[in-house]
Amino acid sequence: MKIAVCIKQVVTREWQVRIDESKTWVRDRDASWELNEPDAYALEEALRLKEKHCGEVIAVSAGPVRVTQVIREALARGADRAIHVEGEYLAQADAFGAAGALAAALADEKVDLVLTGLQSDDQGFAQVGVILAEKLGMAHATIIMEVHVDGPQLRVKRELEGGWFQWIAMPLPAVLTIQSGINQLRYATLKGIMAAKKKEVRVVAAPASAAARQRIVSIYMPEKSKQTKLMAGSPAEAAKALVTALRDEARAIQ
């Protein structure tokens, strides 16, 4: 079974975010980086499927030279080889641009299954996996909590709203977006780190930068503010007004 896992490099959650001069992205020159956590669950699920059904796991990442960091981490955790779609513009690419770059790299691989994290920790649009499936012409399902492979078929468990779940049967090849928490993550061992240095990382040029379907107009730090509001009237009227404000304005209660 041949499985590709799409991984992304994002700034660490502990890093103090600084906005760049254009006010449209963060200052990444002095940022610290890590593997996108939802993608780590997708990688782990791919490794478990490989251990159960045999085959190969390919880590695929699109971005500038610095994404080699997370590629090596994926190889150290157990991926067999990697593809780096290298392009500076991919650092801020929208979902269409990222999916297009990943699809071009995977077009000739003839993979059975493509796994992505549900969403990225930075932009969080949860669209790359869905668009990638369309570009590759594969069936797809999202928010996956369990994956079972039975020959040329998949049986997957999707998480729905309100604590409900849905089981779906679908054919291979397919693209799945994996929900965080589907499994328990493994970490790279010293043996895995040493072995990763000898594993293949194929670098391919990113497609020519296509016109973005969406763009970030501006970003800003959340502004702290406070406001005092007096509830007039009798105690009963003030209490009723307070409950209404907490429910409809502050949304602190339902």
Residue extents of the structural domains in the chain: 2-205, 224-254
What's the CA gap between 105 and 95, in Å, rounded? 16
228 pLDDT higher than 80 = yes
Mean model confidence pLDDT for the chain: 90
Helix axis angle for 95-106 and 128-136, nearest 10°, is 40
- Look at 213 and 137; give whichever has higher pLDDT: 137
Q: Between the CA of residue 156 and those of 6, 38, 70, 215, 229, what are the distances in Å?
A: 19, 18, 27, 33, 50
What's the CA gap between 40 and 74, in Å, rounded? 8
30 pLDDT higher than 80 = no
> What's residue 2's pLDDT?
95
Count the neighbouring beta carbons within 10 Å of the beta carbon of residue 196: 20
Residue found by looking up tokens 């502990």 in the block: 14
**β-pair type (153-159, 165-171):** antiparallel
> What's residue 158's pLDDT?
94
Structure confidence at residue 208 as a pLDDT band (50, 70, 90):
confident
- Look at 18 and 48; give whichever has higher pLDDT: 48
29 pLDDT higher than 80 = no
137 pLDDT higher than 70 = yes
Helix axis angle for 37-53 and 68-77, nearest 10°, is 40
> What's residue 209's pLDDT?
64
- State what percent of residues in the chain have pLDDT above 90: 60
- State what percent of residues in the chain have pLDDT above 70: 99
Topology of domain 2-205 in CATH is Rossmann fold (3.40.50)
Structure confidence at residue 210 as a pLDDT band (50, 70, 90):
low
> What's residue 230's pLDDT?
86
